Structures are given as C-alpha cells and as structure tokens.
Amino acid sequence: MVAEADLGERIMRALILRRVGLIQSGVGGPLIVGDDTMPDVARLQNFLDRNGYPHHLVDPATDEDAASFVAAAPTCLRNLPWVVLADGTTLRNPAETELARAIGMNAGRSGTVVYDVAIVGAGPAGLATAVYAASEGLSVAVCDSRAYGGQAGASARIENYLGFPTGISGGALTGRAFVQAQKFGADLMIPTAVLSLDCSLDDGYFAIMVDGGERIRARSVVIASGARYRRPPIAELDRFEGKGVWYWASPVEAKPTTGQDVIVVGGGNSAGQAAVYLSGLAAKVDVLIRGPELADSMSRYLIDRLAATPNIELHRRTELVALEGSDRRLERVRMRDNSCGRETERDMRHVFLFVGADPATQWLEGCGVGVDKAGFVLTGQRAGAHLETSVPGVFAVGDVRSGSVKRVGSAIGEGAQVVAALHGYLSGAQQATA
Ligand SMILES: Cc1cc2nc3c(=O)[nH]c(=O)nc-3n(C[C@H](O)[C@H](O)[C@H](O)COP(=O)(O)OP(=O)(O)OC[C@H]3O[C@@H](n4cnc5c(N)ncnc54)[C@H](O)[C@@H]3O)c2cc1C
C-alpha cells in the first residue's frame, strides 16, 4: 500500500468506497434486531456508527422474517436486542467489547510485540500521532476505550478546521485519519480501555495495562486521552442517560427529535453546534445557560447563527434541576430561572448536555506522570521538551495536556509535532543501550 503509491491509492479508494456504499445502502454488516426506541439499540447503533461499521436494524414488529426468527427462539431468550452476524452467530444484547471481538474489529494485540510507541486515545491528537509516527517508520499501537474520533467524532459539523470551507463532520474527518493510520501500518485496538501505565521500565520498556488483563509494551508512550464530558449534579441523571439524556448529538440521537421539542444545556461551542444541528429536525430548541451571556464561551459565528435561527431560544441564567419519567424514557424536566428563582415544569423527551469536560487521566494515577490541580498532564518542564511529561519517554498531546488549546487543529498539530520528539527520545535511548 505504501511502497506502490498508485496501486495503493486505487486499493484504498476502492475499499473506502465499498465501505461508504455499505453504510449508505444499509445492507451489509451485522443485523441489529430490535426497535429504535430501545436504549440498547441506540447504544449498539451508536457504537457501530461511531466506528464507521456498516450495520442495519430490523424491527420484528414490522419485518415478518425478523418476527419469525425471534419467535423460533425459546421464550426465555427472546429479550431484544440481538445482533446477528454474517455467519449466523447471534449475540444477545452484547457489550461493545463482545461485539467488537465478534466482528474482528479489535484484532492486533500481543504481549510479545514491543512497539516503538503506544498511544492512548484515538481522538484527533492520537490519530495524528499515529499517522505521522507510522508514516515515518515507527511501529505504533493505538488504544481507545470507545471509538475513533474522540470528542471531535461527536461533532456534527466542524467549521473551523483548515481546508474545509463548507465544514466537515467530526466523524468524516477522523474516519479518514483512522483509515490513514491503518494504511501506514498502525495497530488500532478499539475498544480497548487503558487501565494504568507502568513507567518502572523493569524490563526496559513501558507497559500499559488494558481491560482484559493484557499488557502492551512500548519504548515510548503518548498520552492522548483527551477529556470526558462533565455530568452536572441533576437528581436522577444516571437513570435517564441513554433514555433521553445525551452528551453528544449524532444522527442516531438526533433522528428521534424530529418534530419535537429539545433542550440543549451549555454555552460552549459544542452546545452551539448541537443546537444549530438539532434545529434542523426538532420543532424547537431551548438552549439553557447559567450565565448572562454567551460571548465569553462561544465563537462569534455560532452566537450569530443561534440568533438567526427562528426555532432556537436562549434562556439565560437558567438551569435544569430535575428529570422525571418512566424506566423506558425521560418524560418531564424542571427548570429554574435563577434571576428570579422561579421553577417551571414541562414535558420533554430529549435533553442534550454540553457542560464542559474533565481530563481523562485517572488511569495515570501512581505512575509518576505529573498533573496539574485539575488533572491535566503537565508537560514542558525540561527546556526544549514542550510535549514531554515529567517522565522521559512519556509525552502528552491534545486536550489532555495542561495549557493546551482545546481545538481540533491544535490537537492534530501537537500529534504531528510530538513525532519529532519521539524520534529524538528513541534514538537517544538506543544510543544509551548501545
Ligand atoms: C460536540 C463537540 C464539538 C466540537 N467542535 C469543535 C469544532 O468545531 N472545532 C474545534 O476546533 N474543536 C471542536 N471541539 C473540540 C475538539 O473536539 C477537541 O479539542 C479535540 O477532539 C481534542 O482531541 P484529543 O485527541 O486531544 O482528545 P479527545 O477528542 O477527547 O479524544 C480522546 C480519546 O481518548 C480516549 N480515551 C480516554 N481515556 C482512555 C483510556 N483510559 N483508555 C483508552 N482510551 C481512552 C477517548 O475515548 C477518546 O476517544 C468540539 C468538541 C465537542 C465535544
């Protein structure tokens, strides 16, 4: 693929077009049996969508074949959803890891291989590191606990990324990077959660411990684990997560909002983008912000777009205080206008929360990598080593890094930049061993 550029391009193009064709036509890949109001159907669809994996949904209530297939199972095994694979294997409401293993998504890991670099996180920063490192001949492992794309993967339209004047969805941008990293030979292990990092160098290598008990060994490590959405302190929030309360707005969550009212909480760019995106489907989008204005937290172009969209209404100094509903879905919310203390209740099935993010660095506890008060990774304490952490050979890029600019462009830039530092470290380490 790399040595024969022309041939490589043709193969790459053919494979990408085939994949896009399968996704668009909704005919290939695993079959999800269930109905689209089930939270577990949304979970499975979301996982496959976010990983660019073709799949389709059949509902036994409307599809005769699916109905007779389900009816043929013993009564005690009829709880949906199921996932049926091409070879006939039926998985009953599988966890993401089980599904990934069954469809061969999460292949290449091996305790005996020592990689030049292990990257934790396949968001823009991790993918950029993987593409630049693998294209420059380093052996690369990338682990992500959920899907490629990170936070950017949840963005319906990124309008400020260089070279895309009409914008590009985060999924499309990072999907290309994911394929590009594979083309250059990086091993992408998704979903694989990293639980801890061992910097003791007992056997001369760093080791990352992943779920399932395996160890991935590497000569250097790049921390690109970004940030995780914050969960506001609202009573019963966990009861309604995935049942009307969402932390991202991809087409899977957006579709059921068609013609209905929606609440978006938050005053940042991600909230603004979601509100604009949802306004194209929903009857009305109410945006709730705690402060008096958006100017400090949202880009000007989004503020203007919100103001120009007739079915978006901004509620200043307002927050959600309670959620109510059944076991199946969110039905009502209570909001408080903090300027007068008045609380109002209203019927609501869709709430999207975008209230910031905390660094995903719990897995670094006890390994010696320094973090700031908020948990972001400290870098650059040594002169000339801008992206190196307090442990030589361990680097940090993107949103997880203390003081980083929280943007796709800067995450990608740091991913490209860190590869020079990796080369420097690896050649120094090699000389020391010699
Ligand atoms: C909805 C939304 C819209 C946005 N829109 C824009 C925009 O228009 N323009 C812009 O410039 N920026 C935008 N941003 C910000 C931008 O997405 C981030 O700055 C960027 O994604 C940061 O990239 P990253 O790779 O550093 O981290 P992340 O994107 O956070 O990726 C980190 C990855 O690490 C993985 N991970 C975390 N912990 C572990 C672990 N222990 N084991 C394995 N994997 C782990 C996560 O699953 C994740 O995939 C948006 C953000 C959001 C949420």
Nearest to 294 by CA among 282, 309, 305: 305
Q: How far is the CA of 58 from the centre of ligand 1 (A)?
A: 32
Helix (H) or strand (E) holding 240: helix 237-240
- The span from the first CA to the last CA of the chain, in angstroms, equals 33
Q: How far is the CA of 43 from the centre of ligand 1 (A)?
A: 19
Q: How far apart are CA 252 and CA 309, in angstroms?
A: 23
Q: How far is the CA of 123 from the centre of ligand 1 (A)?
A: 5
pLDDT for the residue 98: 92
What does the mean pLDDT of the chain come to? Answer: 92
Task: Tell me the pLDDT band of 56, cut-offs 50, 70 and 90.
Answer: very high
Mind listing the pLDDT tens digit for each residue in 193-216?
A: 999 999 999 999 999 999 988 999
Q: How far apart are CA 130 and CA 411, in angstroms?
A: 13
Q: How far is the CA of 165 from the centre of ligand 1 (A)?
A: 21
Token couple for 182: 């594979």
What is the position in ligand 1's atom list of the atom closest to the CA of 128? 25
Residue 253 pLDDT > 90: no
Q: How far is the CA of 174 from the centre of ligand 1 (A)?
A: 11
Q: How far apart are CA 423 and CA 433, in angstroms?
A: 15
Token couple for 286: 């109410």
- All domains of the chain in start order, with CATH: 5-102 (3.40.30.10), 114-229+358-433 (3.50.50.60), 237-353 (3.50.50.60)
**Residue 220 and residue 114 in contact, taking contact as beta carbons nearer than 8 Å:** no
- DSSP E strand boundaries for 338-401: 342-347, 351-353, 357-359, 394-396
Mind listing the pLDDT tens digit for each residue in 301-348?
A: 999 999 999 999 999 999 999 999 998 899 999 999 999 999 999 999
The closest residue, in CA terms, to atom 15 on ligand 1 is: 407
Token couple for 206: 């760093």
Taking the C-alpha atoms of 220, 223, 224 and 228 in order, what is their torsion angle to the nearest 10 degrees? Answer: 160
Residues in contact with 59: Cβ distance below 8 Å, sequence separation at least 6, in sequence order: 33, 34, 35, 36, 66
The closest residue, in CA terms, to atom 20 on ligand 1 is: 408
CB count in 10 Å sphere of residue 390: 15
How does DSSP classify residue 241? B
Ligand 1 cavity residues, CB under 6 Å: 120-126, 143-146, 150-152, 154-155, 158, 160, 193-194, 224-227, 248, 269-270, 273, 360, 363, 398-400, 406-409, 411
Alpha-carbon 270 to chain mean position: 13
Residue 110 pLDDT > 70: no
> Model-level pTM?
0.84
Q: How far apart are CA 358 and CA 375, in angstroms?
A: 8
Identity (one letter) of the amino acid at 160?
A: N
Letter string b/e over residues 307-323, b meaning 16 or more CB atoms within 10 A of that residue's CB: eeeeebebebebbbeeb
Mind listing the pLDDT tens digit for each residue in 358-417?
A: 999 999 999 999 999 999 999 998 887 899 999 999 999 999 999 898 889 999 999 999
Q: How far apart are CA 206 and CA 250, in angstroms?
A: 36
Preceding amide of 81 cis, omega within 30? yes
Token couple for 381: 């304490």
